[in-house]
Amino acid sequence: MKRSVEDSTALPPVVDRTTFTADLEELHVREKAHTREGDEIAAQRRRLPMVEVDANLTVTGPDGPVTLLDAFDGRKQLLAYYYMWHTGHPATEQCPGCTWCAGQIQEISYLQSRDITFAVFCQGPYAESRAYHDFMGWSMPWYSAVGSLEHLLEGRKIGQMYLISYVRQGDRVYETYWTTMRGVEVMDNNYALMDLMVYGRQEPYEDSPAGWPKQWATEPSRSPKVIDGRPIAQWSRIAAGRSDDLTGGRSATS
């Protein structure tokens, strides 16, 4: 869905190629330092201690309850995205942030090549959340973690998005890392690409020059990931004729 920017919108100053290249190269120095700092942070992450998690905690998948250990699908590592869920609400009211995050992770063969299983652990019931998964056309493994959330998210708030890393040794499971809120942006490529553009994300918190468009609000009632009352990614599914009925007859499109 296209949103045009008026021709009168502010723009950077126009300079010659030599000046442009000099300024860009100065920025590239900072970008490379940022990349190296990211490498160092990742190195520290790999050196964190770990905490054991009950491998027999259950999550519900297409064949019913399975253990956390089973969710590794035979691999050494498991990366689980804990999807926020509004039980009983229609598709239009499901979390736009989680729709944004989960929808980016479609090609998981590269993760699997490194002995990593990626799965969504939804914080809502399996049937209706799986209906959402199917409506969106997603293919990643999908489970409901209802019933085990208190233990899986020990010390953390249930109902918030999380990205949690696990490793197993035999039949024992350990948690090695977790992040939340803007930490889950690592799942997305759209924001990273927007950051390369002159107007960025066009959201109010950004440090941009005066006159830059900031038409995407961040307050809950006006999510930057929603257009015309539903998460942005849903519109292409509706256009394709898919049903967004999650609860047996209460479709938001009818």
Q: State the CATH number of the domain containing residue 159.
A: 3.40.30.10
Query: Is a pLDDT exceeding 50 seen at residue 252?
Result: no
Q: pLDDT tens digits, residue range 232-246?
A: 999 999 999 999 999
In a domain, 56, yes or no: yes
In a domain, 206, yes or no: no
pLDDT for res 90: 95
pLDDT-based confidence at residue 7 (cuts at 50, 70, 90): confident
In a domain, 5, yes or no: no
CA distance 72 to 112: 11
Q: pLDDT tens digits, residue range 108-159?
A: 999 999 999 999 999 999 999 999 999 999 999 999 999 999 999 999 999 9
Range of the domain at 174: 51-187
Quote helix, strand, coil % in the chain, to nearest 5: 35, 20, 50
Query: Is a pLDDT exceeding 60 seen at residue 253?
Result: no
In a domain, 86, yes or no: yes
In a domain, 208, yes or no: no
pLDDT-based confidence at residue 250 (cuts at 50, 70, 90): very low
In a domain, 4, yes or no: no
Number of domains in the chain: 1
In a domain, 11, yes or no: no
In a domain, 84, yes or no: yes
Query: Is a pLDDT exceeding 90 seen at residue 205?
Result: no
pTM above 0.85, yes or no: yes
pLDDT for res 223: 80
- Which segments within 42-137 are labelled E, that is strand? 51-53, 58-61, 64-67, 77-83, 116-122
Query: Is a pLDDT exceeding 50 seen at residue 251?
Result: no
